[in-house]
């Protein structure tokens, strides 16, 4: 490992061969040297500053970190970076083939410092701000709990977006397979639902998460949503929602936000579900019937929904007849 700190401050060495020795002059700087042998254009110097990465040479003390991080407040570092970059244009990204003629990495003459040398997640220590909510081990959806980083314990893969890598076309087909093949599971659902309906209605009213994960349902995933009057449909991920509330809010954001809706609408209870909007949220079920969203318990909805449509209230007459009947009796039950 080629990194040395000597007692002097601000020493600056540059050359095309051999290691670069940089002396950090303040404790705010950590250091990374890339060194490769057998190639004159084989070095690049990075300074990993707290709060940022600067492509830079020498013991740059571009103003230090001073608490705030980032290029924007560090003009001198930036200009130094640019000038260095101009000089080392050739070195930038060229010829960094690790393998020499033997095709093997010559480890003896140096190694690239790895993240192990600098305790990273690496993001938390690099910036002064709050660590990101997105972790390395997977992009999560809002509704899911956090997943362990180290991957030691197996995580349910349904929590990771886009994994396993199966095209949505095929996924939808699989879902339909599972739905088609799970009539028994649905029967069970129906039986249980009688009792659970009250509980689930309450849960829906609270807008809180339902306790049971969607075990029997397969991965519903993304379904299409179209809104009357808007040509291009969108897709919404049903797995990211645990209630009609959250789904309706998301849809309002998706469609009405783009129409210039005010931000405060986000905090208002969903108008799509209570009948006060000029639009009504409907869905097509497995049998091809269009139903009002909110009629059935959330879990049952998930098993039968094929796609969504935000319909103009004036067009509602086209829905299945029982919609009207249920609509009248059930409206009071809707959140």
Partner 1 sequence: MQKEMAYSFPDEVLKHVFSFIQSDKDRNAVSLVCKSWYEIERWCRRKVFIGNCYAVSPRMVIRRFPEVRSIELKGKPHFADFNLVPDGWGGYVLQWIAEMAGAYPWLGEIRLKRMVVTDESLELIAKSFKNFKVLVLFSCEGFSTDGLAAIAASCKNLRELDLRESEVDDLSGHWLAQFPETCTSLVSLNISCLGSDEVSFSALERLVDRCPNLRSLQLNRAVTLDKIANILRRAPQLVDFGTGNYAAELQPDVFSNLAGAFSSCKELKSLSGFWDVVPAYLPALYSICPRLTSLNLSYATIQSPDLIKLVSHCPRLQRLLFLIQVLDYVEDSGLEELASSCKDLQELRVFPSDPFGVEPNVSLTEQGLVAVSLGCPKLQSVLYFCRRMSNAALVTIAQNCPNLTRFRLCIIEPKTPDYLTLEPLDAGFGAIVEHCKDLRRLSLSGLLTDHVFEYIGTYGKKLEMLSVAFAGDSDLGLHHVLSGCESLRKLEIRDCPFGDKALLANAAKLETMRSLWMSSCAVSFGACKLLGQKMPKLNVEVIDETEPPDSRPESYPVDKLYIYRSVAGPRFDMPPFVWSMDEAVKILH
What's the CA gap between 314 and 310, in Å, rounded?
12
Does 114 interact with partner 1 (rule: CB under 8 A)? yes
Does 165 interact with partner 1 (rule: CB under 8 A)? yes
Judged by CB under 8 A, the chain residues 229 through 258 that form the site for partner 1 are 231-235, 237
For the CB of residue 294, give the shortest distance to partner 1 in the complex, in Å. 24
First to last CA, the chain: 64
For the CB of residue 53, give the shortest distance to partner 1 in the complex, in Å. 4
Does 96 interact with partner 1 (rule: CB under 8 A)? yes
Judged by CB under 8 A, the chain residues 22 through 41 that form the site for partner 1 are 32, 34
Sheet of strand 29-35, all strands in order from the earlier edge strand to the far edge: 29-35, 43-49, 52-55
Does 1 interact with partner 1 (rule: CB under 8 A)? no
Q: Is 249 exposed, middle or buried (0-12, 13-18, 19+ CB in 10 A)?
A: buried
Does 93 interact with partner 1 (rule: CB under 8 A)? yes
Q: Which stretch binds partner 1 (CB under 8 A): 66-74, 188-196, 244-252, 293-301?
A: 66-74
In the list 12, 14, 16, 181, the residue contacting partner 1 (rule: CB under 8 A) is 181
Q: What are phi and psi of 30, to 5 degrees?
A: -115, 170
Does 288 interact with partner 1 (rule: CB under 8 A)? yes
Q: What is the CA radius of gyration of the chain?
A: 29
Q: State whether the Cα torsion 68-49-22-60 is positive or negative.
A: negative
Does 108 interact with partner 1 (rule: CB under 8 A)? no
Does 326 interact with partner 1 (rule: CB under 8 A)? no
The residues with which 285 forms a beta bridge, in sequence order, are: 305
In the list 1, 53, 230, 266, the residue contacting partner 1 (rule: CB under 8 A) is 53
The H or E element containing residue 64 is none
Q: What are phi and psi of 85, to 5 degrees?
A: -60, -40
For the CB of residue 3, give the shortest distance to partner 1 in the complex, in Å. 14
Q: Which stretch binds partner 1 (CB under 8 A): 12-20, 193-201, 228-236, 259-267?
A: 228-236
């Amino acid at each position: 490992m080629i990194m040395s700190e000597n007692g002097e401050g601000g020493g600056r060495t540059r050359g095309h061969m051999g290691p670069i020795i940089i002396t950090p002059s303040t404790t705010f700087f950590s250091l990374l040297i890339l060194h490769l042998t057998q190639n004159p254009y084989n070095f690049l110097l990075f300074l990993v500053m707290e709060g940022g990465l600067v492509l830079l040479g020498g013991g740059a003390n571009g103003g230090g970190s001073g608490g705030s991080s980032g290029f924007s407040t560090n003009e001198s570092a930036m200009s130094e970076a640019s000038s260095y970059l101009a000089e080392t244009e050739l070195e930038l990204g060229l010829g960094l083939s690790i393998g020499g003629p033997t095709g093997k990495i010559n480890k003896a003459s140096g190694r690239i410092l790895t993240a192990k040398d600098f305790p990273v997640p690496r993001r938390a220590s690099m910036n002064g701000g709050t660590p990101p909510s997105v972790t390395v081990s997977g992009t999560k959806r809002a509704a899911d709990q956090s997943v362990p980083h180290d991957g030691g314990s197996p995580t349910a893969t349904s929590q990771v977006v886009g994994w396993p890598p199966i095209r949505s076309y095929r996924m939808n087909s699989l879902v339909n397979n599972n739905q088609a093949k799970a009539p028994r599971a649905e029967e069970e659902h129906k039986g249980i639902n009688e009792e659970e309906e009250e509980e689930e209605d309450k849960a829906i009213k609270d807008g809180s998460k339902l306790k049971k994960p969607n075990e029997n349902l397969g991965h519903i995933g993304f379904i299409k949503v179209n809104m009357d009057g808007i040509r291009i449909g969108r897709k919404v991920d049903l797995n990211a929602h645990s209630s009609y509330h959250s789904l309706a809010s998301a849809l309002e954001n998706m469609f009405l936000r783009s129409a210039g809706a005010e931000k405060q609408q986000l905090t208002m209870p969903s108008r799509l579900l209570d009948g006060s909007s000029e639009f009504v949220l409907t869905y097509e079920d497995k049998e091809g019937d269009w139903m009002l969203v909110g009629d059935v318990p959330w879990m049952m909805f998930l098993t039968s929904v094929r796609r969504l449509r935000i319909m103009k209230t004036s067009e509602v007459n086209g829905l299945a007849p029982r919609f009207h009947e249920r609509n009248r009796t059930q409206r009071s039950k809707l959140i």
